[in-house]
Amino acid sequence: MKNNFEQLVALAEKEVRRTLDSLPAPLRAAAQDVTLAFEDMPDEELVAEGFDPGTLGLFTGPDRAEHTGAQHPYPPQITLFIENLYLFAGYDLDVFVEEVRTTYLHELGHYLGLSEDEIADRGLE
């Protein structure tokens, strides 16, 4: 059975809530400052900017240090690309849920100011 976008988003939302609940209180509090969005895949504009069409997630906006210190026109946001995550998971819902967790934590790491190397050191690549 092929899952539809709304079903996959519901699973992703549930996993993000579970992930947040598992974080230490200071990280959970910091994560509350980041909005979460779900898209099927990167749009043409993002791809034209050089993003891989197979991107699983994206953090945009100011990181935590920038966000607390100044005014920015856009709030920090994590976007999870649901169709790409599902495809990456080989259409396996258990793998999809695991990848939602990993991708969310990866992008949250960017908000917290971690570099790609620091994120990889934590197993969130």
Q: How many domains does the chain have?
A: 1
Can you tell me the distance from the alpha carbon of 81 to that of 72, in angstroms, rounded to the nearest whole number? 24
70-123 pLDDT, tens digit per residue, is 566 678 999 999 999 999 999 999 999 999 999 999 999 999 888 888 888 877
- Cβ pair 90, 113 in contact under 8 A: no
| Local structure of 61: helix, strand or coil | coil
- Domain with 56 in it: 5-69+76-121
- pTM for this one? 0.88
What's the angle, vertex CA 43, arms to CA 108 and CA 101, rounded to 5?
25
Predicted confidence at residue 87, as pLDDT, reads 96
Query: CATH code at 19?
Result: 3.30.2010.20
